[in-house]
Structure 1
Amino acid sequence: MKKNGTGSLKYHIGSCKKNPSNVVDTSQGQLVLPRKGVEGGEGNLSTWRFDQEACRKGLAQMILIDELPFKFVESEGFKKFMFVACPRFHIPSRTTMTRDAYQLYLDERVKIKQLLRSSCSRVCLTTDTWTSLQRVNYLCITAHFIDNDWKLNKKILNFCPISSHKGESIGMVIEKCLLNWGIDKLFTVTVDNASSNDVAIGYLRKKFTPRGGLVQNGKYLHMRCMAHIVNLIVVEGLKEMNKSVERVRGLLDMWNSTYLMLDTAQNFERAFERFEEQDTNFKFELERERLNSNIDFNVMAIKMKEKYDKYWGDIDKMNLLMFVACVLDPRQKLKYLEFTLSEMSSSEKACEMMQKLKESLYELFDEYKPPLHGTCSQSSVSTHVSIGEPQQKMKR
């Protein structure tokens, strides 16, 4: 038996043609003009019709892209705006928005897994670890790979707390992450120069070599972060200028970044000059530092060179893939690299580096030859190809 209530009134409001919310015909799309600066908004004309689920998904994307709090959907200003822009849209609660954002993550995860499965390339990883103010250790793992359309992809695979910064703990977390994503082919892992990362790379090399997922049994797996090395070199040089830096910091306090502090100090050069006129001791200190500046800079350069040689002075400590990338670049090739190395070091050292580089090129060619030429006869391709004349030797 049907009970009396407000159900009939609710049905009437939803179907009444005089209701302003029901004026728009949802069965027919509206023309949308192309918009610049909006992803997917450039190009030809498109059609639009109201879709509650599509609006919720777009709202979740906005929350994530603009890094807004989930409670933003419950703010008074946003509610007023949506009432004007799209009164038919039912604004979800912060709890519903949290679920929608997590669903976006699950959907993107499926897409990335499919992309990794369909891509025939190897994956390069970069890792970064740090400790928060709450003394919690975190690890971020980013994957770089080239898909079948020759497009470079950069995807964050994991951002998680870790038990410690010990190398084996980091290696275990990376291994678990790769297994969850179904990644078994690694090319390089870029890490900073902490000794714990050497242990982590050794752990990954031991685990992935039996699976056949590494190039040359992990010979090129360890890639030292170039930005971190440059930072170490600069910090080593600034140690010799600590007194000068401390003086500037004393005048411009509350700076966390040394570079930003010194860059700002240059803009206040005239203020320093006036301070010089009013404080004779300040002028005396500047004059003394000016007279000693050449010596200080010489010592600073020597210290920076020592730090440079520690990481880049010996070819045995460098990952040769950086040189291989230069050789494969059509703008540089082998001759340019040979010229550059001869300018940077002695002729004997340059010859040694070039010999090792050529050996690495042959090894990499042999590594990739079976999948590339599996249908060809062995006599059609020679592995010992002259590097200077690859087209004449390999042309059939």
Structure 2
Amino acid sequence: MGGASDIDEQMQNAEIETTPAPTRRRKKKSMVWEHFTVEAVAGGCTRACCKLCKQTFAYSSGSKIAGTSHLKRHIALGSCPKIKSQDRKQLALASGFKTDGESPDPPKRRYRTSSYLNSLFDQDISNENLAKLVILHELPLHIVEHPAFEAFAQSLQPRFKMLSSEAVEVEIMAVYQKERQNLFQVLGMIPGRVSLTVGLWTTSQTLGYVCLNGQFIDSDWKLHRRMLNFMMVFSPHSENALSEVISISLAEWNLKDKLFTITLDNNCSSHDIYSANLRDHLSNKNSLMLKGQFFVVRCYANILNVVAQDIIASIHGIIYNIRESVKFVKASPSREEKFAEISLHLEIPSTKSLSLDITTQWNTTYHMLVAALEYKQAFTVLETCDDNYNEAPSPDDWRKVEVVCAFLKLLYDSAIVIMAAADPTSNLFFHEAWKIQLELTHALASEDAIVSSVSREMYEKFDKYWKDCSLVLAVAVVMDPRFKLKLVEFSFSKIYGEDAARYVKVVDDSIHELYLEYVAQPLPLTPAYVELGEAHTSMNGSEINHPSTPISTGDGLHDFDIYISEISTTQNTKSELDQYLEESLLPRIQEFDILNWWKLNNIKYPTLSKMARDILAIPMSMTSIGSSLFSVGTGNKVLDEYRSSLRPEIVEALFCAKDWLQYLPTMVELPPHTTIVKMEM
């Protein structure tokens, strides 16, 4: 009580209070003195006294001045208890506002250096942050015209002038252009090639969009994926649409001679058409490695989803009954209690809980079936003792569910392995693909009629993927020093039996042919006195006392380095590739970092490391790093009605800028000298 009047009285006193008598010191210019007075204390010292809370701080001791930084923090960061109790009013005071809600007074005097307190608000920075808010959270541009949003912004900062929808567009384009220029510079400095992913978006109109992402490994051996373009096309499914868009994008980003592979997310029937068209069109304009043999790659996440959806569709009637059964049990607490009593009486050991699935995410359907399968006896008993329930699957139905769950587990486990990888490089996918191919091959030959029937359509779809991508998958795993060609030989012997040697030779020949193409490319000169054969690494690929950069060559022996480089190429009887393949495999440990291993062995294998950099960056999956593989879907993505109505350049700016901004450091930073204080109660 009386707290508000006390504050008002103190504010009035602050307005009429005069500063101490002027001394010979120059006039104080800092705005902090609007909130402090200087009081003399014993010993010829002075202290600064806060006008609001009357707390004092050291200011001078004889001829020494303590400065004003600690005084600014007291006011600007809310340390003053009066500011904490009257937060809104006092923050307005600290920013130079009147407390009666009127517009701010103009500053009494301007100085060349802006004060700490005045720098708290900047209209341009606020405009940029508003544009980033709209971009990152996919808000409609006209949100700035909503009275509630404007009122909210004004409550935070009355000096902020709300933008119009047209002005927000301008700010969005400015953010897009700024981040685009930054990415352009990054792409200009990458040492290797770029692989693309191509996704199609449809609209309610006849128009469509093509989304292009570039994946690459930088000079520090870090894997990156960035959106390059989100371009509108009138007929995205036409014969030349993709190749034309890709050509335009490569020209815009100056990547004409850096294209390595393209990953598509298309259905099985159209993939061959797209593959042939892209290869023929782009091979005339770009230098494709290995004559484009694995130029077009299919999305691994897409094939998992296609196969999983086919399995689920094969027993859709049974799944419907199970879904309805779960709904029935969970419809009321009494039914759940009755079902629990039945399960307890049957001594069902399951700890799983019944759950409903999300039909667009097949992993949730898998979990629903697995849980229901363990309670199959309870559902059967429930049907006999509850006349309202008649959805229990038959014993044959449960057998089909059991087989389907076994196949779904194979796909689910594979997806989890890929999603668990922080940087899913291309070498990871061979392990998963060959195991699925082998299991489906065995299932197709099974004497169990249900197993062979369910696996038949799965095998047809996955075998098509395996035939299209097994070469690029195998080449990628050869770049893993824990496996090299040995895993290819082992897995192919399991899949192909007596014909394995023929398939292994195709992989071996392709690797050597690709290596020769990299040999023909120039390499940066390496000083001869750097020990090429000793890249010191630990078993998990971490560095052990290894210099991060080559020693400087400023010793006048440049010609000597060239001489050594020339004779070494003629004296070595084995290539880098053969040396690499013949060396012992590294131990298989979970913490192994393949990119770091190649970074540390870059000097030992200068040509082969260039080849490994490009191969390991191939995007075997369309999903972004860290995303779920279960909701990719088998068809094109659909642009909503609102974004379909925007101008194409704004749509591209919104999509691309959102992708680019997520890789930036945090936009909001704490003020300097901010500390976290643990409060004692």
TM-score, scaled relative to structure 2: 0.46
Q: Which moved more, 1:292-301 or 1:351-360?
A: 292-301
The question of 1:147 aligning with 2:340 is answered no
Q: CA deviation at 1:236?
A: 3.4
The question of 1:365 aligning with 2:515 is answered yes
Give the alignment of 1:1-396 within 5 angstroms: 20=98, 21=104, 27-29=114-116, 49-134=120-205, 136-159=207-230, 160-184=232-256, 185-191=258-264, 192-248=266-322, 256-257=359-360, 259=362, 260=364, 263-264=367-368, 274-275=382-383, 277-279=385-387, 282=390, 286-290=394-398, 295-312=449-466, 314=467, 317-346=468-497, 348-373=498-523, 376-377=565-566, 378-379=569-570, 382-383=574-575, 385-386=578-579, 387-389=581-583
2:674 counterpart residue number: none
Structure 1 residues 62, 385: closer, same or farther in 2, change over 3 A? Answer: same
1:37 counterpart residue number: none
Q: Which moved more, 1:145-154 or 1:222-231?
A: 145-154
8 A contact 1:138–1:161 mirrored in 2: yes
Kindly provide the amino acid, as one letter, of the partner of residue 190 in structure 1: T
2: distance between equivalents of 1:258 and 1:18? Answer: 54
Q: Which moved more, 1:162-171 or 1:259-268?
A: 259-268
2: distance between equivalents of 1:140 and 1:284? Answer: 46
Q: CA deviation at 1:326?
A: 1.4
Give the 3-state SS of the residue equivalent to 1:320 in structure 2.
helix
* CA deviation profile, 1:76-98 (whole Å, cap 9, x unmatched): 34334433433332222222112
* CA deviation profile, 1:54-111 (whole Å, cap 9, x unmatched): 2211111111111112222333343344334333322222221121112211222222
* CA deviation profile, 1:318-340 (whole Å, cap 9, x unmatched): 35232222122233333344333
8 A contact 1:190–1:223 mirrored in 2: yes
8 A contact 1:123–1:186 mirrored in 2: yes
8 A contact 1:145–1:153 mirrored in 2: yes
Kindly provide the amino acid, as one letter, of the partner of residue 520 in structure 2: P
Give the 3-state SS of the residue equivalent to 1:373 in structure 2.
coil
8 A contact 2:150–2:162 mirrored in 1: yes
Kindly provide the amino acid, as one letter, of the partner of residue 179 in structure 1: A
8 A contact 1:165–1:196 mirrored in 2: no
Give the 3-state SS of the residue equivalent to 1:318 in structure 2.
helix
Higher relative contact order (CA 8 A, sep 6+): 2
Q: Give percent identity, aligned residues only.
A: 27
1: distance between equivalents of 2:235 and 2:400? Answer: 48
* CA deviation profile, 1:119-158 (whole Å, cap 9, x unmatched): 2321111112243444543322211122233332222222
1: distance between equivalents of 2:153 and 2:259? Answer: 47
2: distance between equivalents of 1:51 and 1:345? Answer: 68
Q: Which moved more, 1:374-383 or 1:213-222?
A: 374-383
8 A contact 2:131–2:171 mirrored in 1: yes
1: distance between equivalents of 2:299 and 2:96? Answer: 66
8 A contact 1:326–1:332 mirrored in 2: yes
8 A contact 2:216–2:223 mirrored in 1: yes
2: distance between equivalents of 1:245 and 1:138? Answer: 35
8 A contact 2:322–2:369 mirrored in 1: yes
TM-score, scaled relative to structure 1: 0.75
1: distance between equivalents of 2:244 and 2:454? Answer: 40
Kindly provide the amino acid, as one letter, of the partner of residue 69 in structure 1: P
2: distance between equivalents of 1:86 and 1:320? Answer: 60
Give the 3-state SS of the residue equivalent to 2:520 in structure 1.
helix
2: distance between equivalents of 1:284 and 1:99? Answer: 60
Kindly provide the amino acid, as one letter, of the partner of residue 153 in structure 2: M
Q: Which stretches in structure 1 are left out of the alignment for 5+ residues? A: 1-16, 31-46
1: distance between equivalents of 2:204 and 2:221? Answer: 41
2: distance between equivalents of 1:395 and 1:107? Answer: 38
Q: CA deviation at 1:164?
A: 4.1
* CA deviation profile, 1:189-237 (whole Å, cap 9, x unmatched): 1113444343333333233334443112212201111122222322333
8 A contact 1:249–1:255 mirrored in 2: no
8 A contact 2:322–2:391 mirrored in 1: no
Q: CA deviation at 1:361?
A: 1.8
2: distance between equivalents of 1:186 and 1:331? Answer: 28
Structure 1 residues 359, 241: closer, same or farther in 2, change over 3 A? Answer: same
8 A contact 1:205–1:218 mirrored in 2: yes
8 A contact 2:259–2:288 mirrored in 1: yes
Kindly provide the amino acid, as one letter, of the partner of residue 163 in structure 2: P
1: distance between equivalents of 2:132 and 2:313? Answer: 46
Name the structure with the higher helix share. 1
RMSD: 3.8
Structure 1 residues 101, 351: closer, same or farther in 2, change over 3 A? Answer: same
What is the count of residue pairs matched by the alignment? 358
1: distance between equivalents of 2:458 and 2:205? Answer: 34
Kindly provide the amino acid, as one letter, of the partner of residue 327 in structure 1: V
